[in-house]
A and B are shown apart, each in its own frame.
Chain A
Amino acid sequence: MKIYVFAALKDFIPSELEWTDVSVKTIQDVKEVLKTKYPAAENLLEACRFSSDLEILTFDQEIKNYENIFVIPPSSGG
């Protein structure tokens, strides 16, 4: 599974991560592991959404169905 992070998250977390940890089962697990590994990003992670290539994912969704997970900070487009 690959994790991609964007924008200000890259100040704390590498932009691309590859995980093989089988204990990570849901999007919520991904979020918790990221918070533990990168405590400086905790506040920002709390405000983030998670997505696949094409859709926003809820926290209870199982990640086994997705090859790529994207961590999306609050938008600042326009």
Chain B
Amino acid sequence: MKTYSLSHPQVVVNDLHISAVDISPVDLLKDYHHPEAGAIVLFSGEVRTDSNKEVLYLDYEVHTSLAEKMIHDILLEAAAKWNLKMALCIHRSGRVDVSSAAVIVITASRHRKEAYEANQYIINRVKHEAPIWKREYFVDGTNEWGHNCSCSTS
């Protein structure tokens, strides 16, 4: 988890995008800084329950080699498009309990507009395109594959 390095000369992009262990928004914010970035935007997608059917936890299945490459490419593309100083994304695999982070995206740029826009772009594309699937486990003992993203994958 902590073995990050510079993988692009102009922008900090993390190297590992799929994690089988807990991911912490606070730790990531603490670890990553860029001297030219005045705006840091963090999105944390947490597992939530549902008022109709109480969720116990989600279990994420991942085509890891492809997901790693796709997410990395999305980060580099966003970094180039918005001139980001940092672009980070980590998505969980395996069991994630309610109120724990399933995915975190951090973007950093000189000013906030670019970081906000890029962050939304990255999470949208990761959700819709990366080969990751959730299975929902409910308190009543049942489980089912999560519904597909409602947006186009094109």
Contact present for A55 and B69 (CB under 8 Å):
yes
* Structural contact, A76 and B130, CB atoms closer than 8 A: no
Query: A75 near B65 (CB under 8 angstroms)?
Result: no
Number of interface residues of A (CB under 8 A): 20
Give chain B nearest CB distance to A43 CB in angstroms.
Answer: 13
Q: Which residues 1-37 of A have a CB within 8 angstroms of B?
A: 4, 6-8, 11
Contact A77 B130 (CB under 8 A): yes
What is the bound-complex CA distance between A45 and B21, given in angstroms? 31
Query: How far apart are the CA atoms of A75 and B63 in the complex, in Å?
Result: 11
Chain B: interface size category: 20 to 34
* Known A6-B61, A54-B65, A55-B69: A74·B148 in contact at CB below 8 Å: yes
Bound CA span A77–B45, Å = 10
Judge whether B153 is part of the interface by a CB distance below 8 angstroms: yes
One of A11, A51, A72, A75 near B128 (C-beta < 8 A): A75
Given contacts A74-B149, A77-B60, contact A7 B133 (CB under 8 A): yes
User: B65 contacts A53, CB within 8 Å?
Assistant: yes
Task: Find chain B residues with CB under 8 A from A6 CB.
Answer: 61, 63, 131, 133
Q: Indicate whether B108 reaches chain A with its CB closer than 8 angstroms.
A: no
Contacts of B86 in A (CB 8 A): none
| 6 residue pairs, one from A and one from B, having the closest CB atoms | A77-B132, A7-B133, A78-B127, A74-B148, A76-B146, A8-B145
- Apart from A7-B133, A77-B149, A78-B127: 19 A-B pairs, beta carbons within 8 A: A6-B63, A6-B133, A7-B135, A51-B63, A53-B66, A72-B66, A74-B153, A75-B127, A75-B128, A75-B129, A76-B134, A76-B149, A77-B91, A77-B102, A77-B132, A77-B134, A78-B91, A78-B102, A78-B103
